[in-house]
Amino acid sequence: MAQDADTAEGTRTRTAKDLALALWFPAFFVLGFMLFYLLPFHAPAPHGIPVAVVGEQAAATVGAELGRVSPGGFEVTPIGGAGAVRDAIFHRDVVAGYDPAGHTLYIARADGLQLVQILQGIFSPLSTGSGAPLQVVDLAPTAPGDGFGTSLFYIAMACNISGYIAVMMMMQATALSRRTKLTAIAGFGLFATLVCWAIGTSIQAIPFHPAVLVVGFLLSQAVAWTTFGLAPFVRRALPGVAMGLFVLMSIPSSGGAIPKEMVPAFFQVLHHVMPLGQAIDAARGILYFDSTAIAGPILGLLAWWAFGALLVALGAWRDRRAAGEGTEDTDGTDDGADGADGRADGALDAAREHRIAEAVADEASVGGAHLDSLADARLLAHPVPTLIGRVVDGGGAPVPRARVTVVDHAGRQVDVAAGSEDGRFAVRGRDDAWITVLVSAPGHGPVSQRLRVRGAVSHRSFVLGSPAGDGGGPAPAPPAERVTAGAAGAGTPTA
């Protein structure tokens, strides 16, 4: 009865853990959208919009009136004359300028239609009240196909999110090296940028300006390299961390969908930090504002890319150091030439095993959905038959971290591997030779089985019984089998 109670408790614990691992990301997604989308977007209003007003006295009068109509909504700066308004707008010091003498409002539609509408709605009564209707001059009109001034945002968002998605998919390509993955990510970033630019210019959603390609590519690489570099440090939390940074925090603060001047101050600060906001500022400067004030945003994108490259380098260094520690001579003696050769072989084996660990960890960081990826990773370093499968208990529940050892007919160890949290394992075999597979795990009785493995990838699962002394004894070993690869790569055991 006590054993049954312990088993039931263990099953409930595993179920709770599995549910938590499966549902934490959607829960994070829901909460993030409420906090980072609903909060800033539910009631957009002016927050410190910088405007210039011609004349000191007029600026004071207009500033007081704006403060009464929209407290905290505007920051008014006096300017010498109407001729200086354009320079102030193009250098991004202000987003609009007002000349009371000419009843003229200078705006830039490229900053977003919503911002223009807010400015016209605020300044029109001021101008009418002083005796004349408001005249509006658009100093930076958008492209003919961009009616709402948001096309640039959607193009930049495609470059932003595609970089994140490319990394998520590359993590599952366990047969590729880290260098190959990074090269592919750079190539895909260039491809995605070209596609977005070509479509955007062809429908006149943005002006034709090839220099903006540089901004799109930098954005894709800033996101992709940072996401890739974070993977070995945050592991299974990578989707949440990456989405938190490059979706939940970046999109609301980008100034693309909603002008940054109309969201709370926290998101205005993020605008100058997150790569999507930096990319939109740089692209707007190139397309609409004579390439002024673009150095800061481009340097920001380069800083993100450099940060990602640093994370990648740190991850590679940590792997190399771990491989070196795994091959140290622990007996403290000098083994001579044979010992040196052995250590060299050991270092090579350790490097291969860390390559396997790196590939499987990459795949596991995005969910570990495909069992054969374990075999792909081991075959990458060891071109010999590979046996993969699961270790489960008598009730069919996976046994985590089981130890799987393979020995040949003479009792020499061929391979040893630790199973994953969900019972998966992958071990090497011998080409067309008999092997014995020993499987053990704490709290379970060990099993052993003699097999003959043929084919590149074969499948075999093991059932562990109750530990000896608990009334169950070890699980009986099945008869010797030959395991071969099926037509689709799945093992087909035959007696």
The maximal CA–CA distance of the chain, rounded, in angstroms, is 104
pLDDT of amino acid 243: 92
Task: For each of the domains in the chain, give its residue range(s) and CATH number, in order of start.
Answer: 8-35 (no CATH), 49-138 (no CATH), 151-317 (no CATH), 384-494 (2.60.40.10)
Query: How far apart (Å, rounded) are the C-alpha atoms in residues 406 and 431?
Result: 13
The mean-pLDDT minimum among 101-110, 122-131, 418-427 falls in 418-427
Determine the Cα–Cα distance for residues 411 and 242; give it in Å rounded to an integer.
47
Confidence label for 13 from pLDDT (cuts 50, 70 and 90): confident
pLDDT at site 17: 78
Mean pLDDT across 359-381: 52
Confidence check: pLDDT of 299 > 90: yes
- H or E element: which one contains 156? helix 151-170
- Inform me whether the pLDDT recorded for 9 exceeds 50: yes
pLDDT of residue 338: 46
| Closest to 226 in 3D by CA, of 177, 252, 189 | 189
351 — pLDDT class (breaks 50, 70, 90): low
Report the first-to-last Cα separation within the chain, whole angstroms: 38
In single-letter form, the type of residue at position 401 comes to R
* Region of residue 489 (left: phi > 0; alpha: psi -120 to 50; beta: else): left
Encode pLDDT of 390-423 as tens digits: 899 888 888 988 999 999 888 888 888 888 777 8
pLDDT tens figures, 183-194: 999 999 999 999
Alpha helix positions (H), 203-335? 212-234, 238-243, 250-253, 265-271, 275-288, 295-325
Q: Which long-range contacts (CB under 8 A, 24 or more apart) does 434-438 make?
A: 434/408, 434/409, 434/480, 435/406, 435/407, 435/408, 435/409, 436/406, 436/407, 436/408, 437/387, 437/404, 437/405, 437/406, 437/462, 438/404, 438/405, 438/406, 438/407
Residue-level pLDDT at 165:
92
Task: Supply angle C-alpha 354, 357, 362, rounded to 5.
Answer: 125
Residues 6+ apart with CB under 8 A from 423: 390, 391, 392, 398, 399, 400, 402
- What is d(CA 266, CA 189) in angstroms, rounded to the nearest whole number? 30
- R_g over Cα of the chain: 31
Q: 387 and 185 in contact (C-beta within 8 Å)? A: no
Closest by CA to 285, choosing from 275, 274, 273, 298, is 298
The H or E element containing residue 50 is: strand 49-54
3-state secondary structure of 424: strand
- Alpha carbon distance 464, 395 (integer Å): 10
Contact 345, 364 (CB under 8 A): no
Average pLDDT over the chain, rounded to an integer: 82
Residue 472: pLDDT band by 50, 70, 90 thresholds?
very low
If DSSP codes are grouped into helix, strand and coil, which group holds residue 138? Answer: strand
* pLDDT number for residue 379: 52
Which of 106-123 are b and which e, b meaning 16 or more Cβ less than 10 Å from the residue's Cβ? Answer: bbbbbbbbbbbebbeebb
C-beta neighbour count of 41 within 10 angstroms: 14
**DSSP H helical segments within 34-81, as ranges?**
39-41, 56-69
- pLDDT 10s digits, 53-81: 999 999 999 999 999 999 999 999 999 98
- Residue 138 in tokens: 């658009």
Give the pLDDT confidence score for residue 291 in this predicted structure: 94
| 382 Cα distance to chain centroid | 30
Query: What is the per-residue pLDDT across 338-348, written as a single tens digit (0 to 9) for each?
Result: 444 445 445 54
Give the model's pLDDT for residue 24.
85
Of residues 213 and 17, more confidence is placed in: 213
pTM: 0.72
H/E stretch holding 447 reads strand 447-454
Share of the chain above pLDDT 90, in %: 50
pLDDT in tens, 431-449: 778 889 999 998 888 999 9
- Of residues 321 and 344, more confidence is placed in 321
Average pLDDT on 259-279 reads 94
Judge whether residue 223 has pLDDT over 50.
yes
